[in-house]
Structure 1
Amino acid sequence: MAEQKINIPETVPVDLTSPALYLNRELSLLEFQRRVLEEAWDESKPLLERAKFLAIFGSNMDEFFMVRVSGIRKQVEARIMEISPDGLTPPDQLAAIRKLSLELMIEAQRCYQKKLLPRLDKTGIHIIDYQKLNKTQKERADTYFKEVVYPVLTPLALDPGHPFPHISNLSLNLAIVIRDKKGNEKFARLKVPDTLPRLLPIKRSSGSVRKDGTIPYQHYFVWLEQVIAANLDNLFPGMEVTAAHPFRIVRDADIEIQELEADDLLETMQQNIRKRKFGSVVQVAVYESMPENIRELLVDNLEVTRNDVYVLDSPLGLSGLWQLYSNVERHDLKDTPYKPRVPKAFRRAASAADIFEAIRNENILIHHPYDSFNPVVDFINAAARDPQVLAIKQTLYRVGANAPVVEALLEAAERGKEVAVLVELKARFDEESNIGWARALEDVGVHVVYGLVGLKTHCKVTMVVRQEGDGIRRYLHLATGNYNANTSRIYEDIGMFTCDEQIGADATDLFNYLTGYSTKQEYRKLLVAPVSLRKKLEKMIVREIEHAQQGRKGHLIFKLNSLVDPHMIQLLYQASQAGVQVDLLVRGMCCLRPGIKGISENIRVISIVGRYLEHSRIFYFHNDGRENIYLGSADLMTRNLNHRVEVVFPIESKDHIHYLRQRVLDTYLKDNTRARILQTNGTYIRLAPEAGKDIVDVQEKFMS
């Protein structure tokens, strides 16, 4: 079928492609990291939760450099001068990124040194510099060095006979200055082992439960690199160690594969994962105390520029603070554990037949992490064990190391079911895990495919084909988030169980598209990228514009992770110009500028950052009172709309539409605790409850 042309109405004759109307994508992502960092500053949060957010900030910044900065550097090196929608060249972007990144990283170090460290100390968690340890503590640390650390260390000399060694990504190292008996100065490099705890417990009870089951109140730690630096004489006998300067590097970790040239995508992906270890260096973090000649040595040998060197305070690599959160059993310093609910429809489901009956009775919405992920696993387990089930088909994007969903698929195959699974090998930083699961599934006879050439499969769909009477019925689970039991406890997502015939037929066509050569162009109810999603969303936005132009109410509410696609932003500008109220709940990147008179004064952008990662995508259209709501896996980014397989599905139950509009979206829009409002200049202002007004924390509301 030929693609229908959409007539986009002209409103105000303004050039909506003007760079002044767009925020820079990379700087917007850094502003999200600022909001994460704000959580570490927030004194209303439990102390170890603040430490966790500082660790998350550190991990996020590492990934930002590994993926985003490395990509722009490649453009600069290739002399690609493509202008971003906001009018910046790649060199312009690198300069702006460096300035804002350095500001944020310095602020994070200040948060650790000035706020967290003193507060941790007052509450019984002591991170002590090696030089400030008392005699007994030093003896314990030195004994640990001799017994555990020393055998692991490999000092590498730097001289003409010993070329500069390979330094692994995200590694912490010591640049060591030594002097021989003749007074000659030499250099060596030593990697701080990442197989050992970065924060060394000085007491054996620190950070864990005692043998008698009690939990220690006082915890004492010292940074491992400081213990190593204090014991370097053991590594260089007969030499004088005059200095040891920590440094940490970040490498390009973005994998690029030529799928059309790959005979075996799985093998090609494995080769590229190995190559990732040798990506170019994109960041070198050092202390102010590192002398100029050592910095020059690193710059020359790591093939970086001075702008790639970031001078920071201790500690280098804030992600090391994860250890505190994970290992210190101080529940008084953490959020109160939350136990997810089991949705009412599944509470009496004691057997596989009960689960299928519940889905036959009604479509069922499930809202994680407030609702348990167990019904999703139970659904696939039921399909594996039910003798009436003929086939199971599923897409897998990020499933993690502990994957009960995959275990259920393995059992289904072993029981003789027809099982077909699309495993997306190109899920960034989950490639190795997904390769492992793909091989395990293939070993038991599952039909495993790796997706379509040139497209990343990001949709979340499970279809179960069940024999019932003289025919078959298709049961489905569609979702905004991954089939990952671990992240389901910390990511906010929504899924739906249904046996709607048309959605089932669409799912069949979708899996044929993914596993074969089907070129389906129209789906009955599902919106599928790159086939129809962009076109259908545009059509519904234009419909809202037309309602407003005819004097009727127009209202759009989109909940997204990211809003980047220029054409979609232009449509939203046109909607605002026509008088449509546009409420955007965008957790991360947003390149749209709200509040511009005549263009975007009817657009409000809210970002919620809190205990759980906001991950669901919801599309609400007022449609002159005939409200439409869609859920799905796609953000409004060019990659999602054009270069990924995404599925957005309709919510048709009036009860579900009411729940999502009144209970979910309205609560998000009323949040005055975790909400930040995007300003025209790209900064965010955090809301606070007005005097006498109710406190609304959307995540707390859903837990209550």
Structure 2
Amino acid sequence: MTLGNSPSSGDDTETGDSHPGAPVEPLALEDRYTNRELSWLSFNRRVLAESENERYPLLERLRFLSISASNLDEFTTVRIAGLEGQVQRGIETPGIDGLSPRQQLDAIREQVLKLEDRQQDSLENLCKLLIEEGIEISPVGNLEKSDQAWLEEYFKTDILPLITPQAIDPSHPFPFVASGGMGLLFRLKRAKRKGELVEMVLIPSGAPRFVRLPGDKAIYVPIEQLITQFASTLFPGFKILGDGIFRVLRDSDIEVEDEAEDLVRYFRTAIQRRRRGRAVMLELDDECDASAEALLREQFDVDAAMIVKTGGMLGLHDLDAICEEPRPDLKFSPFSPRYPERILAHDGDCFSAIREKDIVIQHPYESFEVVVDFLHQAAIDPHVVSIKQTLYRAGDQSPVIAALVEAAQNGKAVTAVVELKARFDEERNIRWANELERAGVQVIYGFTEWKTHAKVSLVVRREEDGYRTYCHFGTGNYHPVNARIYTDLSYFTANAALGRDAAKMFNFITGYIEPGHLEKIAISPVGMRERLYDLIDAEIANAKAGEPSGIWVKMNSVTNRAMIDKLYEASQAGVEVRMVVRGICSLRPGVPGLSENISVKSVIGRFLEHGRMWAFANGKTLPSRQAKVFLTSADAMSRNLDRRVEVLVPVTNKTVHDQLLGQVMLANILDTEQSWRLGADGQYERMRKGEDGFNCHEYFMSNPSLSGRGSALETHDVPRLTLAGAKE
């Protein structure tokens, strides 16, 4: 799951001035806004709650625990590290709720420790339930003698060659431990010799975290316990006086210097610096030898408040390996994405289908292969003359990269905007950029100070009546793995005005040519915020005039103070605002006199909600055909509106419009089974299922989309949704 950028980079300190039109309220800041970091921790508690959800299969619950732990690791290495950096530099800029960096750290640390404890409680409960299903995570000492003998032999043949003990003394300084690295310290004494010796064993990244014993019963042993159990084999002739397991997390932020002359070279160096960043959290098992613990505290120099001792397991994100156990009875029922019938009706020709009518693909319910096929067909089509593509994250084995390489090799003019500043994908993106350049692709790295976060493909094709431009606008990355997990929207169109606007957007990125006039789309940071304000103002005017008004928003995060104040202004004017915000939300709904007309919910479930949309009533009651509907790559955050290249795309095609508003948006609003309601106090409460419970993920898995179903599926009776619920 993606968390956003660290405050240390100046990329996401949501303290912008209020919109000048917003009324001044007597409420204190902490009653008007929720702190960004505390709201994120609330989101991760909702993720963790899914590991406690008894309606889910056991291995899926374990997977949610792993995701929660992974999220918390990244939060620590980026957000906590960033705040600590501000404190060390004496920066006192308050958060949106008025808390100083030091006050935020104090509040965050308390919540992080509670989350750590709750994760361990969840693991303990899940382990008991898994044992009943024949899956066990066990210490070596609890196993049968025959199993112990097998593990000892495995240790000698498969683990011992991988590990290297290192003495800690004046001639052997304390070794470097990478972020996320786990190791063991042993306090030893050689027989008949005075003095003690401390040895460290780092667990290699290539070693399996869990060793599975052979047999039908799935018994897993954590590798750190295996090393501890058979340490005498590693240290013959020594008596083991004590030991301890530890794990360290480091500052993982990369700050981009405006004067960087060569971004590729800069990031190659910065990635190396990140691996050796300042330690921000030290995790210890609670039976850690006292001398070993003292040494670790001294060497890592971690603030005492961020030293976590636990009687459970360290590194819970590694539990995802156990989730791969072949037990379909303990997992969600398999789901295969549909390939849109309308494209199949055109014999799989994407261009023919798009030319006939716009289409929107909703991932993961509909296959990401459509995006890949669109680019692959462009690569081999002799009539295609040029392709332009933005790349933020593309994954390890990227068919999108392969298509661009093939297009360049086929003599087409191919331009790729590769974002080097995509956190934790910098190294991969450098590798892709090199491969693209070798194939003859013109690679652009965008702006030094802004990230290019817009997801756009532009294909120019020579046809009988002249050149035609085909566009893909997405809310998610061109990443085939994420597209099976994230709910995102892919909008394909041959609309000429949208094509002209997309071309201007690329010229802005590649040549710094700021678009003077855009016919349909809006882009940040040069006009999207103002466009949204104008749309909100129109709803305010309608409400004041007694006309129907309303705003529906689907976002991942809402933290920008000015945008929040604008929505507060709409609420005070009588505009009903319904918001589906998966993650961070600094807006407080339902506050009397401020936001009583705003409701906020968060949908957490099998798939990660990631699509972003705005809908405006436009003088009619939502949902209606007259509503103005927009897809966007941007969240309502300062970084997206002011420091990233993003795109806001209007949708006017009737079928696509109806699908986005009457299916996607409305289903999220109606969901009760996976939803949490945000209260005026900034706290979330799970919505009760009830007899008439509605699950939006199940709805989308069961029904074809309006724009993709084609004539072959016209007989499928898709339940029509209304604000009163689903109707057969």
Scaled by the length of structure 2, the TM-score of the pair is 0.91
Matches within 5 A, 1:464-613: 464-469=459-464, 471-613=466-608
Q: What are the superposed Cα offsets for residues 163-189 of structure 1, whole Å, 9 maximum, x if unpaired?
A: 111111101111211123334233222
Matches within 5 A, 1:37-436: 37-113=48-124, 115-180=125-190, 181-203=192-214, 216=216, 218-258=217-257, 260-326=258-324, 328-350=325-347, 354-436=349-431
Q: Distance in 1 between matches of 2:393 and 2:508?
A: 21
User: Residues 402 and 486 of structure 1 are in contact (CA less than 8 Å); yes or no, is this contact kept in structure 2?
Assistant: no
User: Residues 677 and 687 of structure 1 are in contact (CA less than 8 Å); yes or no, is this contact kept in structure 2?
Assistant: yes
Counterparts in 2 of 1:300 and 1:422: CA distance versus 1, 3 Å = same
Q: In structure 2, give the amino acid aligned to 1:31.
A: S
User: Residues 17 and 85 of structure 1 are in contact (CA less than 8 Å); yes or no, is this contact kept in structure 2?
Assistant: no
Matched, 1:33 2:44: yes
Measure how far apart 1:358 and its partner are: 1.2
How many residues in Structure 1 have an aligned counterpart in Structure 2?
679
SS of residue paired to 2:91: coil
Q: Which contiguous aligned blocks of 4+ residues in structure 1 show a shift greater than 6 angstroms?
A: none
Q: In structure 2, give the amino acid aligned to 1:46.
A: P
Q: In structure 1, give the amino acid aligned to 2:307.
A: V
Q: Distance in 1 between matches of 2:240 and 2:402?
A: 53
Structure 1 runs not aligned, ≥5 long: 1-6, 206-215
Q: In structure 2, give the amino acid aligned to 1:277.
A: R
Between stretches 54-63 and 7-16, larger displacement belongs to: 7-16
User: Residues 243 and 289 of structure 2 are in contact (CA less than 8 Å); yes or no, is this contact kept in structure 1?
Assistant: no
Indicate the percent of aligned positions where both proteins have the same amino acid.
41
SS of residue paired to 1:624: coil
Measure how far apart 1:228 and its partner are: 0.3
User: Residues 43 and 584 of structure 2 are in contact (CA less than 8 Å); yes or no, is this contact kept in structure 1?
Assistant: yes
User: Residues 366 and 495 of structure 1 are in contact (CA less than 8 Å); yes or no, is this contact kept in structure 2?
Assistant: yes
Q: Distance in 1 between matches of 2:585 and 2:96?
A: 13
Structure 2 runs not aligned, ≥5 long: 1-17, 621-625, 703-728
User: Residues 178 and 185 of structure 1 are in contact (CA less than 8 Å); yes or no, is this contact kept in structure 2?
Assistant: yes
Measure how far apart 1:668 and its partner are: 1.1
User: Residues 267 and 420 of structure 2 are in contact (CA less than 8 Å); yes or no, is this contact kept in structure 1?
Assistant: yes
Q: In structure 1, give the amino acid aligned to 2:65.
A: L
Measure how far apart 1:470 and its partner are: 5.4
Show the counterpart of 1:447.
442
Matched, 1:661 2:671: no
Show the counterpart of 1:650.
650
Q: Distance in 2 between matches of 1:92 and 1:311?
A: 23
Measure how far apart 1:142 and its partner are: 0.6
Show the counterpart of 1:641.
641
Q: Distance in 1 between matches of 2:517 and 2:688?
A: 46
SS of residue paired to 1:623: coil
Q: Distance in 2 between matches of 1:627 and 1:418?
A: 38
Q: In structure 1, give the amino acid aligned to 2:430.
A: I
Q: What are the superposed Cα offsets for residues 204-225 of structure 1, whole Å, 9 maximum, x if unpaired?
A: x5xxxxxxxxxx4x21111111
User: Residues 338 and 365 of structure 2 are in contact (CA less than 8 Å); yes or no, is this contact kept in structure 1?
Assistant: yes
User: Residues 564 and 589 of structure 1 are in contact (CA less than 8 Å); yes or no, is this contact kept in structure 2?
Assistant: yes
Q: In structure 1, give the amino acid aligned to 2:251.
A: D
Measure how far apart 1:9 and its partner are: 8.7
User: Residues 522 and 532 of structure 1 are in contact (CA less than 8 Å); yes or no, is this contact kept in structure 2?
Assistant: no
Q: In structure 2, give the amino acid aligned to 1:285.
A: E
User: Residues 243 and 292 of structure 2 are in contact (CA less than 8 Å); yes or no, is this contact kept in structure 1?
Assistant: no
Measure how far apart 1:292 and its partner are: 4.3
Q: Distance in 1 between matches of 2:29 and 2:605?
A: 34
Q: In structure 2, give the amino acid aligned to 1:121.
A: I
> Once superposed, what is the RMSD of the aligned Cα atoms?
1.5
Show the counterpart of 1:682.
682
User: Residues 12 and 577 of structure 1 are in contact (CA less than 8 Å); yes or no, is this contact kept in structure 2?
Assistant: no
User: Residues 171 and 191 of structure 1 are in contact (CA less than 8 Å); yes or no, is this contact kept in structure 2?
Assistant: yes
Show the counterpart of 1:212.
none
Show the counterpart of 1:208.
none
Q: Distance in 2 between matches of 1:52 and 1:581?
A: 37
Counterparts in 2 of 1:442 and 1:13: CA distance versus 1, 3 Å = closer
Q: In structure 1, give the amino acid aligned to 2:256.
A: I
Q: Distance in 2 between matches of 1:542 and 1:291?
A: 63
Counterparts in 2 of 1:13 and 1:201: CA distance versus 1, 3 Å = closer
User: Residues 673 and 694 of structure 2 are in contact (CA less than 8 Å); yes or no, is this contact kept in structure 1?
Assistant: yes
Q: In structure 1, give the amino acid aligned to 2:396.
A: A
Q: Distance in 1 between matches of 2:478 and 2:396?
A: 12
Q: Distance in 2 between matches of 1:463 and 1:600?
A: 41
Between stretches 296-305 and 315-324, larger displacement belongs to: 296-305
Q: Distance in 2 between matches of 1:194 and 1:116?
A: 26
Q: In structure 1, give the amino acid aligned to 2:25.
A: V
Q: Distance in 2 between matches of 1:73 and 1:395?
A: 34
Q: In structure 2, give the amino acid aligned to 1:515.
A: T
Show the counterpart of 1:211.
none
Counterparts in 2 of 1:697 and 1:231: CA distance versus 1, 3 Å = same
Q: In structure 2, give the amino acid aligned to 1:91.
A: R
- Please point out which of 689, 695, 698 is paired with 1:697: 695
Show the counterpart of 1:670.
670
User: Residues 543 and 575 of structure 2 are in contact (CA less than 8 Å); yes or no, is this contact kept in structure 1?
Assistant: yes
Q: Distance in 2 between matches of 1:251 and 1:78?
A: 18
Counterparts in 2 of 1:11 and 1:89: CA distance versus 1, 3 Å = closer
Q: Distance in 2 between matches of 1:356 and 1:291?
A: 66
Q: Distance in 2 between matches of 1:358 and 1:450?
A: 32
Q: Distance in 1 between matches of 2:24 and 2:272?
A: 52
User: Residues 11 and 578 of structure 1 are in contact (CA less than 8 Å); yes or no, is this contact kept in structure 2?
Assistant: no
Counterparts in 2 of 1:342 and 1:17: CA distance versus 1, 3 Å = farther
Scaled by the length of structure 1, the TM-score of the pair is 0.94
Measure how far apart 1:193 and its partner are: 2.3
